[in-house]
A = this chain, B = another copy of it.
Amino acid sequence: MTDLNILGISGSLRAGSFNTALLRNAQKHAPAGMTVSRYEGLADLPHYNQDLDNEESRPESVTRLRQAVADADGLLIASPEYNYSIPGGLKDLLDWASRPAADSVLRHKHVAVMSSSPGAFGGVRGLLSLRQMLLATHSHVVAKPEVMVFGVAQRFDDGGNVTDEMTINLLRELLSALHDQIRG
């Protein structure tokens, strides 16, 4: 059996993003039978505009996004919380990927989600709003564990490796749950 091919998506564009760093650690701690790659096209995606969503006008960045999601066995989304929801860029990604609604690449896609924040609440609100969006897209979201890493700055070494045992275990549990959900 070939490895499950998971597409990792960070909601942050910041070079030093903790969420992007979490994804890199998830790549390292993925269970046997699973490979996590990373989507890096977020900055190039325009805002969703239905007038552009046709064969003549569709940006190539959108076509590439949809193909990448279609090719993946599952998604792993790591997102910061901006203003009690997810960043606009990540929302645009979901908006583009969710069309056409009846037959989108997000439909029936297995998705694991996590958030992290330097503050006390770990992105709880952003993650709830993300789950609500993924109900709309009819994606199959891993319910537990809920991975919301608060005080995230203290959990990394200088090389960008998560050193906090609890966080590593949560990453592993989340990826295992995604694995089992996909394999059924």
User: Which residues of A are in contact with B by a Cβ distance under 8 Å?
Assistant: 13-15, 42-43, 45-51, 82-95, 98, 120-122, 124-125, 128-129, 131-133, 135-138, 140, 143-144, 148, 150
Q: What chain B residues lie within 8 Å of A13 (beta carbons)? A: 47-49, 51
Chain B: minimal CB distance from A107 (Å)? 10
Q: Once the chains bind, are A94 and B89 in contact (CB under 8 Å)?
A: no
Q: Once the chains bind, are A82 and B120 in contact (CB under 8 Å)?
A: no
- Give the contacting residue for A132; candidates B43, B46, B125; CB below 8 A: B125
Q: Once the chains bind, are B129 and A85 in contact (CB under 8 Å)?
A: yes
7 residue pairs, one from A and one from B, having the closest CB atoms: A88-B92, A47-B89, A88-B91, A13-B49, A83-B136, A84-B136, A83-B133
Closest to A107 in B: B144
- Give the contacting residue for A125; candidates B124, B137, B143, B150; CB below 8 A: B124
Chain B: minimal CB distance from A179 (Å)? 17
Q: Once the chains bind, are A88 and B95 in contact (CB under 8 Å)?
A: yes
Q: Jot down 12 A-B pairs with beta carbons below 8 A, ordered by A.
A: A13-B51, A47-B87, A47-B88, A47-B92, A48-B88, A84-B132, A84-B133, A85-B132, A120-B120, A121-B122, A121-B124, A129-B129
- Give the contacting residue for A131; candidates B47, B89, B135; CB below 8 A: B135
Given A95-B82, A132-B84, CB of A43 within 8 Å of CB of B49: yes
Tell me the interface secondary structure of chain A in the complex: mixed
Q: Once the chains bind, are B94 and A88 in contact (CB under 8 Å)?
A: yes
Q: What chain B residues lie within 8 Å of A98 (beta carbons)? A: 82-83
Q: Once the chains bind, are A87 and B95 in contact (CB under 8 Å)?
A: yes
Chain B: minimal CB distance from A11 (Å)? 10
Q: What chain B residues lie within 8 Å of A87 (beta carbons)? A: 47-48, 91-92, 95
